[in-house]
Amino acid sequence: MRTEVSFASLAEIATELLAIPAADAQTEKGSGAKPGPTLVTTDPAAQAAAAAVLASGEFKAGANETVLIHSPAGLAAKRLLIVGLGKLSKVTAHSVRNAAGAAVRFAKPRGIRELAFAIPSSEAVPGANLPYASVVRATVEGATIGDFDPDTYRSDRKDQSVQQLTLAVPAGANREVIEAGLAEGAIVGESQNFARTLVNEPGNKLTPTILGQRAAEMARQVGLNCEVHSTEKLHELKMGAFWAVAQGSAEPPALIVLRYTPEGVTEGPILGLVGKGITFDTGGISIKPADNMDRMKYDMAGGAAMIAAMRAIALLKPKVRVIAVVCAAENMPSGTAQKPGDVQTAMPIAPDKPGKTIEVINTDAEGRMVLADGLTYARRLGATHLIDAATLTGAISVALGKIAGGIFSNDDVTYSKFDAALKITGEKFWRLPLGEEYADLIKSDIGDIKNTGGRFGGAITAAEFLHVFAEDTPWIHLDIAGIAWVEDARPYIAKGPSGAAVRSILEWARSY
């Protein structure tokens, strides 16, 4: 999608579709005031063109609600699309992000290939914190994310992409600030879509080896250092937990390592990004039900998020060193697969130390096993702060639904940086507890720990399992099982892979 900036008045912008956000200006409950949708622009021509439909009562300006006006009077645009932001008092940059996505999703099936989007005027949203840099970035992100469709392999696929996005910016805005926000938004949106592209691939098209190749090609394009290892390296490093999962498949595993080292930075933290890359998960010997098993191509969404975050990091160039470790494998049932009751030995933190032993209660709890070795390896490579992401447990969806991801951390300062990142990205995560009582549930009679702690508190005991391998290193665990796939299309995003956590991992890294 090409993007450009226009400082012309909205009346002068000749375009197939001009999208203008509107908000519900209703005052506090009990005031007696009626709901009043209002455009978040002070442009008089736009206000006049929209006046009749806004006064009609048929459009309420609810979040991502749309109404279309053909041949709007006083505007050069062929169509005027008004997109709701919700309550005026609650408008944020994230509201605008979704509205931009909704505008693009509206245009695509109608054959509209270029559109202009009016950036909200701060004068039209009194009291809101809507700096132009943030709003422009969010708009481009939302439009880019909205342009993605998952129908890659349809034989009759028609390209419905929006080719051109013009940002209509109020005349008083600083051009340098606007263009910087535009460039940043394009990088972040494209990186999130890169993750979605990977997650969307079926298991026969994206094996662990191919995932490694895709990561290496991306790294070459953006200037990251990349290494991709396989079985021999796992044995050399004594990655017994990772190999235990991989051994059941004819497809070899891939240990993907990406490094970002900014010029002149030789001190300070080294961030370790660790991702679960199970390119297909049958559950292994503890096989999953047939219903919805096809969805298990998405079980590498955590790894895809880390690879995509590294892409954005390489292009935005924060002054902090970052290492990403993605453990990719298939979890398959076969004569060589691990079995319930097996005991596996995880990678040791140092060559002269013993690795932790894991009693395998359920082979479908495989993601935490590959992450165990991934976290340890990131620490051995020098990571001083850790963050992992995984479609780890169904239990997180039971706890939080499909609305928010789960977050766990052993360090409040590290967590607070991620929480601050969420204010920028608009993503939803909820912190859940850790504690000795939960850790007791994964103690093993035959080894050090079990790979499941039973039905209750399943997301927490899974996090406690990972905590064993993070130890005292400041660490965050993101369980994105409930949010990595969009079950039903929303006005601003297609059904399918969401690219969850990419934006927030990036902002967490930039905070250092």
Catalytic residues, by residue number, are 288, 368
Residue with tokens 């639904």: 401
SS3 24: strand
284 backbone dihedrals φ, ψ, rounded to 5°: 75, -150
- Which pair of tokens denotes residue 231? 């079985």
Q: How many angstroms separate the CA atoms of 504 and 423, rounded?
A: 9
Tally the C-alpha atoms within 13 A of residue 372's C-alpha that lie toward its C-beta: 30
Q: Comparing C-alpha atoms, which of 327, 123, 307 is closest to residue 239?
A: 327
Kind and range of the H or E run holding 474: none
Q: How many angstroms separate the CA atoms of 442 and 359, rounded?
A: 9
- Which pair of tokens denotes residue 164? 């051109």
Q: How many angstroms separate the CA atoms of 465 and 469, rounded?
A: 7
Residue with tokens 């039973």: 454
Residue with tokens 């891939």: 254
Q: Taking every pair of C-alpha atoms in the chain, what is the biggest distance, in angstroms?
A: 78
Can you list the alpha helix ranges (DSSP code H) found in 367-457? 367-380, 395-400, 412-425, 436-439
Q: How many angstroms separate the CA atoms of 199 and 500, rounded?
A: 11
Q: Comparing C-alpha atoms, which of 202, 336, 198 is closest to residue 256?
A: 198
DSSP 311-329: HHHHHH--SSEEEEEEEEE
Q: Comparing C-alpha atoms, which of 137, 159, 141 is closest to residue 149?
A: 159
DSSP 225-246: EEEEE-HHHHHHTT-HHHHHHH
Cα separation of the two ends of the chain? 31
Contacts of 356 (CB under 8 A, 6+ apart): 345, 346, 372, 448, 449, 468, 469
- The interaxial angle of helices 502-510 and 175-200, nearest 10 deg, is 130
Contacts 24+ apart (CB under 8 A), 151-154: 152/197, 152/200, 152/201, 153/202
Kind and range of the H or E run holding 69: strand 66-70
